[in-house]
């Protein structure tokens, strides 16, 4: 077999793998009218928990949106983690006019316990309700029905609810890339969870039962690992029966994206570093997806350079089919989320993502010394 035929064969295999993921997971997910696993049942009380370290400006901008939800019985617990920016005094003043706002002040984190996980643990222990709904100080609920939609997604068997958290639109290539990376991540973990194969969640918008958290030892197994309080915790404890999703447009949260590439890479290094701790089956499945996606573009470019006109025509037709599939998936996902997303440069963003994923992902997995804040 000559070189171009080998390239074409491997390209076709990579293409078929991507087709498999699109039809089994992505199309099924985005075109299903009942993505959120909601049930008609009595509303349960909710404890919203937000951890903050020197987040006074974000709290001033966003906390009111959490405190003014259309929900009868809920509390907002703000865990003020070692802040020295005036957050403590401001929270005390806010609690006077918002009786459902509770706060905890943490002065010191115990040794061998990650600060973020310790703050979350104290907040969960302090919560009076069984449903724990998590977000961050730099997040904004998409609507005043955020608590309602997320809490209603608990089924009789579900102890974990995965939501979606996106980034606000700004000008520039970095913002386009951040929004693409976030959408692709959401597409993967939500579509897999929709097929009862959940592997992660996003701490900016997810919920679980306090009783389930405590019964499984909390963050005991993960206490010394930076990050993983959301994705790795879900990876350890999810199964086919206990996890549901909520993709209602009113259930989203939005964050302000980074303005500098350096800040973005620093943030993502922390997130990517825990992937090596995933279950083997999840690492294998994600590895196959990303590796076949990478091969598709590398071999397409090589085929154009080395192939005959006929080879180039075949490869171009298949890559065009793939791109059309991507456009359809991202367009429908955007509609489902109720957002406007520019799709004109998806191939460019995907190629940038492939470079970022392999270079920065490998670097992050080899990095040992990381800090939360």
Give the model's pLDDT for residue 273.
73
* Mean pLDDT per 10-residue interval, the chain, length 373 residues: 86 97 97 64 90 95 97 96 92 93 93 87 96 97 97 94 95 92 96 96 96 94 78 94 95 92 78 82 96 96 91 94 96 93 87 90 66 51
Pairing of strands 165-167, 253-255: parallel
**CA–CA distances in Å: residue 125 to residues 79, 116, 249:** 11, 14, 30
Q: Is 30 exposed, middle or buried (0-12, 13-18, 19+ CB in 10 A)?
A: buried
What is the pLDDT at residue 36? 58
Rounded distance between C-alpha atoms, residue 299 and residue 301, angstroms: 5
Alpha helices in 216-260 (DSSP H): 231-237
Q: Hey, what CATH topology would domain 46-186+197-258 get?
A: Spore Coat Polysaccharide Biosynthesis Protein SpsA; Chain A (3.90.550)
Euclidean distance between CA atoms 60 and 53, whole angstroms = 14
Look at residue 241 and give its three-state secondary structure.
coil
In the chain, what are the domain boundaries? 3-30+281-366, 46-186+197-258
Torsion of CA 11, 12, 17, 22, to 10 degrees: 100
- pLDDT of 372 reads 47
Torsional sign, CA 306, 310, 311, 314: positive
């Amino acid at each position: 077999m000559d070189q171009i035929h080998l390239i074409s064969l491997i390209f076709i295999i990579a293409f078929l793998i991507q087709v498999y993921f699109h039809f089994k997971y992505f199309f099924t997910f985005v075109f299903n009218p009942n993505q959120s696993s909601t049930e008609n049942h009595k509303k349960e009380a909710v404890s919203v928990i937000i951890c903050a370290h020197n987040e006074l400006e974000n709290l001033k901008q966003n906390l009111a949106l959490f405190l003014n939800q259309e929900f009868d019985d809920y509390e907002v617990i703000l865990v003020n983690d070692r802040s020295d920016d005036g957050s403590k005094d401001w929270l005390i003043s806010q609690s006077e006019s918002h009786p459902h706002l509770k706060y905890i002040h943490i002065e010191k984190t115990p040794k061998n316990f990650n600060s973020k996980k310790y703050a979350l643990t104290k907040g969960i222990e302090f919560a009076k309700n069984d449903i724990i709904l998590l977000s961050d100080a730099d997040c904004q609920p998409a609507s005043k029905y955020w608590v309602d939609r997320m809490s209603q997604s608990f089924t009789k068997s579900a102890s974990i609810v995965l939501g979606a958290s996106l980034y606000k639109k700004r000008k520039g290539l970095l913002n386009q890339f951040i929004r693409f990376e976030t959408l692709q991540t959401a597409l993967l973990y939500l579509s897999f969870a929709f097929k009862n194969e959940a592997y992660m969640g996003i701490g900016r918008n997810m919920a679980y039962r306090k009783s389930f958290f405590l019964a499984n030892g909390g963050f005991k197994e993960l206490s010394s690992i930076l990050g993983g309080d959301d994705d790795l915790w879900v990876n350890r404890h999810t199964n086919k029966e206990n996890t549901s999703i909520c993709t209602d447009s009113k259930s989203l949260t939005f964050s302000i994206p980074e303005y500098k590439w350096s800040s973005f890479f620093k943030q993502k290094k922390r997130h990517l570093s825990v992937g090596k701790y995933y279950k083997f089956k999840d690492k294998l499945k994600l590895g196959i997806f990303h590796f076949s996606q990478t091969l598709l573009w590398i071999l397409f470019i090589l085929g154009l350079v080395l192939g005959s006109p006929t080879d180039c025509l075949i490869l171009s037709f298949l890559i065009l089919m793939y791109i059309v599939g991507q456009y359809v998936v991202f367009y429908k996902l955007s509609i489902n989320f109720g957002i406007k997303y520019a799709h004109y440069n998806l191939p460019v963003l995907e190629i940038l993502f492939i470079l970022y994923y392999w270079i920065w992902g490998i670097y992050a997995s080899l990095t040992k010394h990381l800090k939360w804040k």
